[in-house]
Amino acid sequence: MTDPSPNSKLPDDERWAREVLSKLAFAAVTEQRRTRRWGIFFKLLFFAYLVLLLVLAWPDSLDTTTGGKRHTALVRIDGLIASNTEASAKNVIEALRKAFEDEKTAGVIVQINSPGGSPVQAGEVYDEIQRLRRKYPKIPVHAVASDVCASGGYYIAAAAQNIYANKASIVGSIGVRMDSFGFTDAIAKLGIERRAYTAGNNKDFLDPFKPVNPAEVQHLQGMLDAIHQQFIAAVRQGRGERLKDNPEVFSGLMWTGEQSVELGLVDALGNTRYVAEEVIGEKTVVDYTKHTRWVERLFDGAEASLGAALLKVLGIDGMAQWR
């Protein structure tokens, strides 16, 4: 019976050399295949990285032009009004300016669905709407209340020429609040000793781990009252004689859209489509709302967390809110 292996007839040293060369050849082929697979992997990884960069850098919205047609500009304010949310003054003001600067804008609708938030952020948007109204007197701006238009949300709405709402919308809450807690009894029962070291007689102002100080509460109430009066003045300026002489209007209470019409907080019932078609007269609506990019949300969130931690270190435990 013949040996199928051709190397079996060769001398041992030559057969060994051939086997080594064969193994080296197979190893080289295997290494080439492995290198090629890793090359494909890294190319795909690089491609995914480029796609991610494009997504993060993608514009807030696609081209909002309407082919030269006149249109109604829409700016949405949704959720909490704060510096690190999409309803921040920065985002809303940028959207409003783009809407007013467009030569084809026939009118602007500010659609609000917000329970309120920062007095500073809401105040900046209010002032900007007033400024844009003076700069572009031929472009009307109307506010439309969605589910909720309360506190800071209503503060912004008051800057518009007219306010519209659904009959079931929640409107009002013209007031200011600051929340805190007291833990003096709790730490005493747990046997915890409070140690706070400060420089400045009032640096531990409203410390929740110490008994209530009437002088501090009085000072805080003065601050809240001052901000409340700023709120009231802005609403009176925006609404004028349309407001009914009712002391409950500025008490912090909320009303339905239907009740708000009777109180002069709202001009009439209507939604965004109604205002665009019947009030402004242009049914084509272009949305100018600025949406925060993912990368901006990431950095804004980190910045907000750092700021909150810094405020905690400094002993500032609460912020006044219109809500």
For residue 130, is it within any domain? yes
Does residue 21 register a pLDDT over 60? yes
For residue 254, is it within any domain? yes
For residue 196, is it within any domain? yes
Look up tokens 């004028």; give the residue: 240
Q: What is the pLDDT of residue 52?
A: 64
Does residue 282 register a pLDDT over 50? yes
For residue 23, is it within any domain? no
Q: What is the pLDDT of residue 68?
A: 67
| Cβ 109 vs Cβ 161: under 8 Å | no
Does residue 236 register a pLDDT over 70? yes
Q: Comparing C-alpha atoms, which of 119, 242, 244 is closest to residue 175?
A: 119
- Give me the half-sphere count of Cα atoms (radius 13 Å) on the Cβ side of residue 53: 6
For residue 170, is it within any domain? yes
Per-residue pLDDT averaged across 264-280, rounded?
96
For residue 25, is it within any domain? no
For residue 39, is it within any domain? no
pLDDT tens string 33-85: 778 777 777 677 777 766 666 655 555 444 444 556 899 999 999 999 999 99
Q: What is the pLDDT of residue 4?
A: 54
Both structure tokens of 301: 């969130």
Q: What is the pLDDT of residue 192?
A: 81
**pLDDT bucket at 116, cuts 50 / 70 / 90:** very high
Q: What is the pLDDT of residue 12?
A: 64
65 to each of 133, 262, 285, 322, how far by Cα in Å? 22, 39, 11, 36
In whole angstroms, what is the distance from residue 275 CA to residue 73 CA?
Answer: 11
Provide Rg for the chain, Cα atoms. Answer: 33
Residue 75 neighbours by CB distance under 10 Å? 27
Does residue 295 register a pLDDT over 50? no
Residues 6+ apart with CB under 8 A from 96: 75, 108, 110, 125, 128, 129, 132, 288
Contacts 24+ apart (CB under 8 A), 289-292: 289/61, 289/74, 289/75, 289/76, 289/95, 290/60, 290/61, 290/86, 290/91, 290/92, 290/94, 290/95, 291/60, 291/61, 291/86, 292/60, 292/86, 292/91
Query: 63-72, 118-127, 187-196 — which one is most confidently predicted on average?
Result: 118-127
Query: Of 75 and 16, which is predicted with more confidence?
Result: 75
Both structure tokens of 220: 């805080």
Query: In this structure, what CATH number is given to the domain that contains residue 201?
Result: 3.90.226.10
**E-state strands within 188-307:** 254-256, 268-269, 285-287
Parent domain of 122: 71-314
In whole angstroms, what is the distance from residue 74 CA to residue 84 CA?
Answer: 22
Q: What is the pLDDT of residue 63?
A: 44
In whole angstroms, what is the distance from residue 224 CA to residue 119 CA?
Answer: 11
Strands 170-172 and 254-256: antiparallel
Per-residue pLDDT averaged across 10-29, rounded?
69
Both structure tokens of 10: 């060769």
For residue 44, is it within any domain? no
Does residue 126 register a pLDDT over 80? yes
Number of domains in the chain: 1
Q: What is the pLDDT of residue 217?
A: 85
Does residue 318 register a pLDDT over 50? no
DSSP single-letter state for residue 12: H
Per-residue pLDDT averaged across 266-280, rounded?
96
Both structure tokens of 231: 């709120």
**pLDDT bucket at 317, cuts 50 / 70 / 90:** very low
